[in-house]
Structure 1
Amino acid sequence: MSEAAYDPNNVFAKILRGELPAQKVYETERVLAFMDIMPRADGHVLVIPKTPARNLLDIHPDDLAELARATQIVARGVKAGMGAEGLTVQQFNESAGGQVVFHIHVHILPRWSGLALRPHTGAMEKPEVLARHAETIQAAITAMQAGG
């Protein structure tokens, strides 16, 4: 079975090219983290590589390692910034595996005891709420990187 080709017009590729807006949380030369516009929890962040890769099955190992490093940094920032008790980290591959956007991405969802994830209804969060959460998480990441 051959893998489907990477589609350069997917929504995350458009975000990387600046064609669509995103509330950025963290960025390096090789990765970008931004707020999910349809969050399943307050503070739901997506982490993506800047290189074109459909999913875990076709990403170059060096890019996957960089994605993992960034995921850890952002996860620590999400947990601290949002005051979460824990985290759910998810990554889906192909339609049958639950993947909807075919550019590899990792979901970081802050979690609190007794609070279930919201269902994925397609409802978009207000931009000002996403901006507030992004600022909170950015501040936590900055403080951690500064040793504070």
Structure 2
Amino acid sequence: MSDCIFCKIIAGEIPASKVYEDEQILAFLDISQVTPGHTLIVPKEHYRNLLEMDAASASQLFAQVPLVAQKVMKATKAAGMNIIANCEEVAGQTVFHTHVHLVPRYSAEDDLKIDFIAHEPDFDKLAQVAETIRNA
């Protein structure tokens, strides 16, 4: 896509700090660096997000996630890592080309905040939702 910044990076039209590349995948440092070493892994073929990808293409993408994540962890000496794929604007996606964020974590006080609010389980509701998903 001509207006996609990641497609332009893949085509070499925009510079990037590449950390991994093969025939299908490119990984490079995110320019906004939520934490030092924040890396994006993108398929070279344009997909809006993971929800648009076929299983084979998603498998190629995710096959490289552990390899790149391990390299980032080793290089940064981070204490942990968040691996995130945002799908659609409501979920925080801002670039509409599939990508996986590797965000090294150095402490609970760094610049990435993810708060899950735990709720008391409603097992009847869980069963209904599970049934709906199975039947989709």
Q: Helix, strand or coil: the match of 1:68?
A: helix
Give TM-score, length-normalised by structure 2.
Answer: 0.78
The worse-fitting range, judged by mean Cα deviation, of 58-67 and 32-41 is: 58-67
Write the letter of the residue equivalent to 1:50.
Answer: K
Conserved 8 A contact 1:8-1:52: no
Aligned position for 1:100: 94
Shift of 1:83: 0.3
**Structure 2 residue aligned with 1:45, among 39, 43, 54?**
39
- Give structure 1 stretches of 5+ with no counterpart: 1-6, 120-148
Write the letter of the residue equivalent to 1:69.
Answer: A
Aligned length: 113
Write the letter of the residue equivalent to 2:110.
Answer: A
Distance in 1 between the 2:40 and 2:80 partners? 16
Distance in 1 between the 2:86 and 2:112 partners? 18
Aligned position for 2:77: 83
Q: CA RMSD in A?
A: 1.4
Kindly provide the CA deviation profile for residues 12-45 of structure 1, in whole angstroms up to 9, marking residues without a partner as x: 0110111100010000100000000111000000
Give TM-score, length-normalised by structure 1.
Answer: 0.72
Does the alignment pair 1:33 with 2:27?
yes
Q: Helix, strand or coil: the match of 1:89?
A: strand
Aligned position for 2:109: 115
Shift of 1:86: 0.5
- Which contiguous aligned blocks of 4+ residues in structure 1 show a shift greater than 3 angstroms? none
Write the letter of the residue equivalent to 2:5.
Answer: V
Distance in 2 between the 1:58 and 1:86 partners? 29
Shift of 1:113: 2.5
Distance in 2 between the 1:31 and 1:110 partners? 20
